[in-house]
Amino acid sequence: MTRLLYSIILVFNTLSIGFAQTPATSANWTNQYWPARWIVHPTAPVRQYGIFHFRKAIDLTQKPARFIVHVSADNRYRLFVNGKSVALGPARSDLQNWNYETIDLAPFLQAGRNVLAAQVWYMGDGAPFAQMSYQVGFLVQGNTDAEKIANTDASWKVLHNVAYSPIKNDIPKLRTYIVAGDGDRVDAAKYPWGWEQSNFDDKVWVAAKPFGFPTKPRGLGTDGNWGLVPRSIPMMEESVVRLATVRRSENAKMDATFLQGKSPVTVPANTKATFMLDQSHLTNAYPELTVSKGKGAVVTLSYAEALIDAQGKKGNRNDVEGRTMRGFDDQFVADGSEKRTFRPLWFRTYRYLQLTVETKEEALTLDDLVGQFTGYPFQEKAQFTTSDSTLKNLWNVGWRTARLCAGETYYDCPYYEQLQYTGDTRIQSMISLYVSGDDRLMRKAIMDYDHSRFNDGLTQSRYPSADFQVIPTFSLFWVCMIHDYWMHRQDDEFVKSMLPGILGVLNWHEQRVAKTGLNGPLEWWNFVDWSKWQNAKDEISGGVPNGARKGGSSILSLQQAYTYFRAADLLSHYGQNERAEYYRDLGRRLNKTVYAQCWDATKGFFADTPLIPAGQPGKNSYSQHANILAVLTNAVPVEQQAALLQKTIADTSLTQATFYFKFYLFEALKKTGLGDQFIAQLKPWRDMLAIGLTTFAENPEPTRSDCHAWSASPLYEFLSITCGIRPGEPGFKAVRIEPFLGDLTTVEGKMPHPLGEIAVQFQKTPSGGLTGNVTLPANLPGTLRWKGKSIPLKAGKQAVNL
Position 304 pLDDT exceeds 50: yes
Which pLDDT score is estimated for 19? 42
Q: For helices 472-488 and 554-573, what crossing angle results, to 10°? A: 40
- Indicate the pLDDT class of residue 4, thresholds 50, 70 and 90: very low
Position 21 pLDDT exceeds 60: no
Which pLDDT score is estimated for 739? 98
Q: Cα–Cα distance between 196 and 208 in angstroms, integer?
A: 16
Dihedral angle of Cα 512, 518, 522, 528, to the nearest 10 degrees: 130
Q: Cα–Cα distance between 159 and 138 in angstroms, integer?
A: 13
Q: For the residues 109-125, what does the mean pLDDT come to?
A: 97
- Give me the DSSP letters along 495-543: HHHTHHHHHHHHHHHHTTB-TTSSB----S-----SS--TT-TT--SSS
Q: Cα–Cα distance between 501 and 479 in angstroms, integer?
A: 9
Which 8-state DSSP code applies to residue 628? H
- CATH 2.60.120.260 for domain 2-163+186-234, yes or no, is yes
Q: Which fold has domain 238-375?
A: Jelly Rolls (2.60.120)
Average pLDDT, the chain: 94
Q: For the residues 615-632, what does the mean pLDDT come to?
A: 83
- Indicate the pLDDT class of residue 11, thresholds 50, 70 and 90: very low
Position 777 pLDDT exceeds 80: yes
Higher pLDDT, 766 or 557: 557
Q: Cα–Cα distance between 567 and 482 in angstroms, integer?
A: 9
Across 16-25, 172-181, 575-584, which has the greatest mean pLDDT? 575-584
Position 422 pLDDT exceeds 70: yes
Which pLDDT score is estimated for 536? 73
Q: Which helix (H) or strand (E) holds 117?
A: strand 112-122
Which pLDDT score is estimated for 44? 98
Position 119 pLDDT exceeds 70: yes
Burial level of 37, CB count in 10 A (0-12/13-18/19+)? buried
Write the pLDDT tens digit of every residue in 659-702. Answer: 999 999 999 999 999 999 999 999 999 999 999 999 999 999 99
Q: For the residues 395-418, what does the mean pLDDT come to?
A: 98
Which pLDDT score is estimated for 234? 98
Higher pLDDT, 51 or 12: 51
Write the pLDDT tens digit of every residue in 561-572. Answer: 999 999 999 999
Q: For the residues 424-451, what does the mean pLDDT come to?
A: 98
Q: Where in the chain is the domain with CATH 2.60.420.10?
A: 723-802
Q: Cα–Cα distance between 183 and 350 in angstroms, integer?
A: 14
Q: Cα–Cα distance between 19 and 79 in angstroms, integer?
A: 10
Contact between residue 768 and residue 787 where contact means Cβ atoms under 8 Å apart = yes
**723-802, which class in CATH?**
mainly beta
Q: For the residues 374-379, what does the mean pLDDT come to?
A: 98
- C-alpha separations of 97 from 125, 464, 512, 606, 670 in Å: 22, 10, 31, 44, 39
Q: Where in the chain is the domain with CATH 2.60.120.260?
A: 2-163+186-234, 238-375
Q: For the residues 401-427, what does the mean pLDDT come to?
A: 98
Higher pLDDT, 194 or 766: 194
Q: Cα–Cα distance between 141 and 226 in angstroms, integer?
A: 14
Q: Which helix (H) or strand (E) holds 624?
A: helix 624-633
Q: Which residues pair with 141 in a beta bridge?
A: 70
Q: Cα–Cα distance between 271 and 297 in angstroms, integer?
A: 9
Q: For the residues 196-213, what does the mean pLDDT come to?
A: 95
Which pLDDT score is estimated for 10? 37
Q: For the residues 374-398, what does the mean pLDDT come to?
A: 98
Pick the range with the lowest mean pLDDT from 4-8, 274-278, 386-390, 640-644.
4-8
Position 23 pLDDT exceeds 90: no
Which 8-state DSSP code applies to residue 722? I
CA-based nearest residue to 717, from 759, 663, 772: 663
Q: For the residues 785-799, what does the mean pLDDT come to?
A: 95
Which pLDDT score is estimated for 611? 62
Write the pLDDT tens digit of every residue in 725-752. Answer: 999 999 999 999 999 999 999 999 999 9
The alpha carbon of residue 620 and the mean position of all alpha carbons in its chain are separated, in whole angstroms, by 37
Give residue 295's identity as a one-letter amino acid code. Answer: K
Q: Which residues pair with 72 in a beta bridge?
A: 139
Higher pLDDT, 15 or 635: 635
Position 620 pLDDT exceeds 80: no
Q: For the residues 501-530, what does the mean pLDDT come to?
A: 96
Position 403 pLDDT exceeds 80: yes
Alpha-carbon Rg for the chain in angstroms: 28
Write the pLDDT tens digit of every residue in 481-490. Answer: 999 999 999 9
- Indicate the pLDDT class of residue 326, thresholds 50, 70 and 90: very high
| Percent of the chain whose predicted confidence (pLDDT) is above 90 | 90
Position 27 pLDDT exceeds 90: no
Contact between residue 657 and residue 665 where contact means Cβ atoms under 8 Å apart = yes
Which pLDDT score is estimated for 2? 38
Higher pLDDT, 341 or 25: 341
